């Protein structure tokens, strides 16, 4: 209770000081005059941004400057309103300084400093590719800079430092916790950026297999994030003894509530290690047929022939049957069954069928197509035609259709009939007489 009373007392003292400062400095005639001037400057800056920024951006876009210089100039022009605000503030503050009776231009100076800090921080944050993250970093950094400019950063920091709580055997202040979280976010962002750069470099290495690229990229990403967490945790005042207790509780929670997610994570690691599935493979899982586009920690992305991307959990590849059409050899044998009329010469049919199968471009020349007689059916002589393809990712139904069309054209050209079933109905004479009556 004493700690809470001290914190409440500090907050109350800080509020009283802020109130006294407001009455002594803010609620005065010089401040009111500067406030009115600031309103005029804001409207003029908005008009300058709307009128000048598009024109300058068009000039830069149409110029023959190098792309890097264009990018920098366009980034600066994106702050046209703020730059106009800073310049007008600086000029107006100079005018106020010429009339000592009006008072110093303190409010204008503060506004100029705040706007300058925002422009610098906003331009620096554009190195972050993620727009939301860049905006968040800019707002947080500017808030800290603004508190420092108006002289409130130290009192707020002291207030946050005074608020402490127990974590294990250590006292952790709210300031340390917030600072550690901010550092953790920055370090994780840096770690992920480095991991993406590693993955891009791996993608251009022809000597590394697709499976190796995915495995190395995932290991690098996990290791970098783990190091970032280890570096950030001590800054929060959290010792590893408390972390061990928390990790034990987290492990119980993972075992109960995240069992499926952990199973998918481990299954994804097994898939990368045992080489059973890799990006570019043509696979069939249940009713899904397509080629593997990507492999993540949770799922495998499979693109079907109609360009649908299906996300299949990694666990399904471990516990279910998977047909990998290109696991060790990209050659795939296709099979077509057909029948011809009994008046046809079976030797000629076998030869013509094998020649017809060679006509589609996707049919492999080696091994050559082959046709076998399989049975003497009720209405036809039955055959099976077998041929090979080396690009299963292009589909199997379409190449079967091409071979069937080639068979149709060849049989039609050589007067070979494809029969349909015949049925003979024999009626007893007594039954016929009965039907007549």
Query: In this structure, what CATH number is given to the domain that contains residue 371?
Result: 3.30.70.100
Laid out side by side, the sheet with 288-295 consists of 309-313, 299-304, 288-295, 282-285, 323-324
Here the tokens at position 82 are 């703020």
Of 235, 257, 279, the residue at which a domain comes to its end is: 257
Q: Are residues 52 and 149 in the same domain?
A: yes
Residue 419 lies in a domain: no
Mark which of 144, 162, 180 sits at the end of a domain: 162
Same domain, 336 and 393: yes
CA Rg value for the chain: 38
Q: Does some domain include residue 86?
A: yes
Q: What is the pLDDT of residue 416?
A: 92
Here the CATH number for the domain that contains residue 178 is 1.10.287
Residues 65 and 190 in one domain: no
Sign of the C-alpha dihedral computed for residues 123, 128, 134 and 138 taken in this order: negative
pLDDT in tens, 211-246: 666 667 777 777 888 887 777 777 766 655 555 555
Structural domain range at position 360: 332-413
By CB neighbour count within 10 A (0-12 exposed, 13-18 middle, 19+ buried), where does 407 fall?
buried
406 versus 287: which is more confidently predicted? 406
Task: Report if residue 307 sits inside a domain.
Answer: yes
In the chain the first and final C-alpha atoms are separated, in Å, by 111
Q: Are residues 234 and 376 in the same domain?
A: no
Contact in structure between 292 and 300 (CB atoms under 8 Å): yes
**Of the segments 175-189, 198-212, 247-261, 393-407, which one has the largest average pLDDT value?**
393-407
Length of the chain: 437
Residue, of 359 and 256, whose pLDDT is higher: 359
Note whether 364 and 407 are within 8 A (CB).
Answer: no
Range scoring the smallest mean pLDDT among 27-41, 99-113, 128-142, 290-304: 99-113
Residue 434 lies in a domain: no
One domain, residues 155 and 32: yes
Is 227 domain-assigned? yes
Final residue of a domain: which of 203, 235, 257? Answer: 257
Buried b (16+ CB within 10 A) or exposed e, 257-294: eeeeeeebbebbbebbeeebbbbebbbbbeeebbbbee
Report whether the peptide linkage leading into residue 47 is cis, meaning its omega lies within 30 degrees of zero. Answer: no
Q: Note the pLDDT tens digit of each residue in 284-325.
A: 887 788 878 888 777 888 888 777 888 888 788 777 788 877
Q: How many CA atoms lie within 13 A of 156 on its CB side?
A: 12
Lowest mean pLDDT among 98-102, 130-134, 156-160, 289-293: 98-102
Q: Say if 395 falls within a structural domain.
A: yes
In a domain, 318, yes or no: yes
Residues 247 and 278 in one domain: no
- The domain tally of the chain equals 4
The maximal CA–CA distance of the chain, rounded, in angstroms, is 133
CB 112 within 8 A of CB 93: yes
Q: Return the C-alpha torsion angle 355, 360, 363, 369, nearest 10.
A: -10
Q: Which segment, 103-117, 210-224, 293-307, 328-342, is predicted with the most confidence on average? A: 328-342
In a domain, 90, yes or no: yes
Residue partners of 170: CB distance under 8 A and separation at least 6: 237, 238, 239, 242
pLDDT tens, 357-373? 999 998 988 889 999 99
Q: Higher model confidence: residue 7 or residue 135?
A: 135
Judge whether 322 and 373 are in contact, CB under 8 Å: no
């Amino acid at each position: 209770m004493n700690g809470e009373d001290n914190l409440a007392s500090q907050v109350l003292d800080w509020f009283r000081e802020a109130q006294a400062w407001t009455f002594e400095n803010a609620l005065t005639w010089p401040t009111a005059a500067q406030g009115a001037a600031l309103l005029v400057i804001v409207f003029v800056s908005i008009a300058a941004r709307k009128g000048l920024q598009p024109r300058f951006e068009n000039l830069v876009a149409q110029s023959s400057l190098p792309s890097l210089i264009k990018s920098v100039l366009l980034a600066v022009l994106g702050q046209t309103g703020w730059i106009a605000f800073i310049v007008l503030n600086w000029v107006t503050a100079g005018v106020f300084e010429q009339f000592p009776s009006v008072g110093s231009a303190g409010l204008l100076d503060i506004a100029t400093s705040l706007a300058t800090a925002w422009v610098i921080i906003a331009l620096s944050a554009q190195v972050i590719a993620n727009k939301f993250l860049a905006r968040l970093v800019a707002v947080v950094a500017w808030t800290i800079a603004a508190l420092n400019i108006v002289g409130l950063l130290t009192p707020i920091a002291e207030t946050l430092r005074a608020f402490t709580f127990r974590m294990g055997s250590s006292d952790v202040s709210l300031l340390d916790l917030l600072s550690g979280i901010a550092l953790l976010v920055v370090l994780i962002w840096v770690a992920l950026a480095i991991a993406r750069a590693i993955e891009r470099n791996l993608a251009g290495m022809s000597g590394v297999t697709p499976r190796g690229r995915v495995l190395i990229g995932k290991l690098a990403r996990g290791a970098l994030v783990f190091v970032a967490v280890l570096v950030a945790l001590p800054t929060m005042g959290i010792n590893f003894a408390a972390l061990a207790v928390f990790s034990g509780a987290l492990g119980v929670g993972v075992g109960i509530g995240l069992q499926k997610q952990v199973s998918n994570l481990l299954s994804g690691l097994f898939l990368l290690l045992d080489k059973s599935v890799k990006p570019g493979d043509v696979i069939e899982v249940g009713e899904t047929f397509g080629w593997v586009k990507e492999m993540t920690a949770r799922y495998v992305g499979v693109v079907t022939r109609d360009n649908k991307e299906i996300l299949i959990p990694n666990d399904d590849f471990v516990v279910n049957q998977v047909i990998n059409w290109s696991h060790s050899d990209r050659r795939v044998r296709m099979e077509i069954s057909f029948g011809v009329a009994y008046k046809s010469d079976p030797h000629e049919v076998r030869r013509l069928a094998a020649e017809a199968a060679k006509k589609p471009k996707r049919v492999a020349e080696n091994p050559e197509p082959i046709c076998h007689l399989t049975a003497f059916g009720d209405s036809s002589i039955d055959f099976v035609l077998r041929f090979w393809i080396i690009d299963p990712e292009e589909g199997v139904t379409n190449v079967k259709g091409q071979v069937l069309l080639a068979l149709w054209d060849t049989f039609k050209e050589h007067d070979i009939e494809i029969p349909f079933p015949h049925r003979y109905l024999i009626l007893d004479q007594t039954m016929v007489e009965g039907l007549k009556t």
